[in-house]
Structure 1
Amino acid sequence: MGIIKILHGQAIMHAMTKSSVVFLCPCLVSALVFLLYWTPRGEPPCPIGVVYKCLPILFLCMYVGAEIFFSGISRYSACIMLGLLFSGTGDAYMVYQRDYFIHGMLAFGAAHLFYAVAFHERRMWWKFVVFYTPFNVVMFTILAPRVSFQVFVPGCFYGLLITLMLWRAAARLDFSNPSASKLCALAGALLFLASDTVLSLNKFAVPLPYAQYIIMTTYYSSQFLITVSVHKEVEKHGVTAALNDGLKKNN
């Protein structure tokens, strides 16, 4: 029985590695197509623009789906999947942001909430408030006088949700012994914040050079890193545990 469990665990790891190639490579290619082909065209909002923008997130959803299929569902993988689905919805709204900017912001807010639930662990790490509060104060000072009340209220709510997501990603990381999954998740959360910061400053404060490229590069990178953290989490709690269990029984 121990040998069977080991072989089963190795088969799952092989399948997971294959899914990484099948879905993550197309994600990277489709992101490059959007950045290097579609973005420079400057096309007006249209359905094909939605397809180009959402395709990388769709491949990431497929990757998480493959991880769930091969290794079983967990709170972590389920919440990351829901976060990606809401992110894709937000991307679609943002193609038509002149009319649906707030809808997109709320969809991304829901994504941050699901990511925060995925990242949540018992450790609180209140020092995060000390590190992050100055940034929030600066952004509030810059943006508050420049946005309408209709945008300001949901914008504050969105800011709280991305803060929650970043806090939970940072709090779960043991800096003395960091895991690959937690490092990927934190790096993804920080890049998401960078993307939203550039987007907000460019839209409401001052036009920034190459803003669209910076926004989307950091955004796709953030989603990619958050997504691949699922593989490391599954490997840690699922496949590795099965292999260890098989080795113990075999001995």
Structure 2
Amino acid sequence: QPKAVMLPALFLASAALSVSYFISPGIFQKALPIWALSATSWKGRADIFSSYVSVGLLFSSAGDMLLELDHDYPGKYFIFGLVSFLVAHLLYINAFRTSKLSYKYANLVFVVVLAYYVGIMRVLLPNMEQGMVVPVLLYGLAISAMLFFSILRFLSSRTCTKSSRLCSLIGSVMFVASDSILAINKFAFPVPDAHFYVMVTYYVGQTYIAASTFRNHKVQIKK
């Protein structure tokens, strides 16, 4: 399958570009791998799942560029970057919800995700400046909701393939890990080599979310 070959190629391209980012930083260079993933994820407007994912990747790339600008002009672009990523998470949530989900495991998944949300906020909030509390709380809710629906999709959806469900789950977990490291390093305490770990988990996460659009739907065999 051409797409099966394309996925490793995309991942290697993303990894290579992310490594080159550390050597020669640049706003567009940082976003380029995500643009490639977005273009490959797009299957046309008829495929709602891939449409949400593809546009979500574009909002993520906008967040990338805004956060990079914030490095040059501290405090001016961080909120805008946060909003861009928040919109990306909302689009991913809508993508995961297009699968027919069963809420059989919803209570258990909710408890697990709530434990993450409460835990990360207890780490972040004590030293955070007042003006950032509400935006971070809201962003935390959005990324936790994305994690919730990705887990639920993996456990319960029977309309999409196991590989698609697994990719969206791995991608979401890696995205949450990336954002958590970034937030802890920014608001709580320094994390050694934080930028490296943030970028690696981020690119891997986005690659897997994009990969979830490949062979998403189960083929119905007519008898």
Category of TM-score, reference length = shorter chain: 0.7 to 0.9
The one of 139, 159, 169 equivalent to 2:150 is 169
> Per-residue displacement from partner, 1:130-166 (whole Å, max 9, x unpaired)?
2122222221112112222222111111111111111
Query: What is the SS of the residue equivalent to 2:95?
Result: helix
Q: How is 1:98-247 mapped onto 2 (pairs within 5 angstroms)?
A: 98=74, 99-120=76-97, 121-124=100-103, 125-174=106-155, 179-234=162-217, 236=218, 240-241=219-220, 244=221
Structure 2 match to 1:9: none
- In 2 relative to 1, CA 174–122 (structure 1 residues): closer, same or farther, beyond 3 Å? closer
Which ranges of 4 or more aligned residues in structure 1 deviate by more than 4 Å?
Answer: 175-178
> Per-residue displacement from partner, 1:27-48 (whole Å, max 9, x unpaired)?
532432332x33145x5xxxxx
Q: Relative contact order, CA 8 A, sep 6+: which one is greater?
A: 1
Could you tell me whether the CA contact under 8 Å between 1:27 and 1:59 is conserved in 2?
Answer: no
Question: What is the number of residues matched between the two proteins?
Answer: 213
Which segment drifts farther, 134-143 or 159-168? 134-143
Could you tell me whether the CA contact under 8 Å between 2:101 and 2:157 is conserved in 1?
Answer: no
- TM-score scaled by length of structure 2: 0.86
- TM-score scaled by length of structure 1: 0.77
Higher helix share: 1
Could you tell me whether the CA contact under 8 Å between 1:93 and 1:101 is conserved in 2?
Answer: yes
Following TM superposition, by how much is the alpha carbon of 1:116 offset from its aligned partner in structure 2, in angstroms?
A: 0.6
Q: Whose radius of gyration is greater, 1 or 2?
A: 1
Structure 2 match to 1:93: 66
**2:12 is the counterpart of 1:33:** no
- In 2 relative to 1, CA 197–60 (structure 1 residues): closer, same or farther, beyond 3 Å? same
The letter for the 1-side match of 2:126 is: P
RMSD (CA atoms): 2.4
What is the distance in 1 between the residues matched to 2:4 and 2:162?
A: 22
- In 2 relative to 1, CA 19–59 (structure 1 residues): closer, same or farther, beyond 3 Å? farther
Gaps of 5+ in 2: none
Gaps of 5+ in 1: 1-13, 44-48
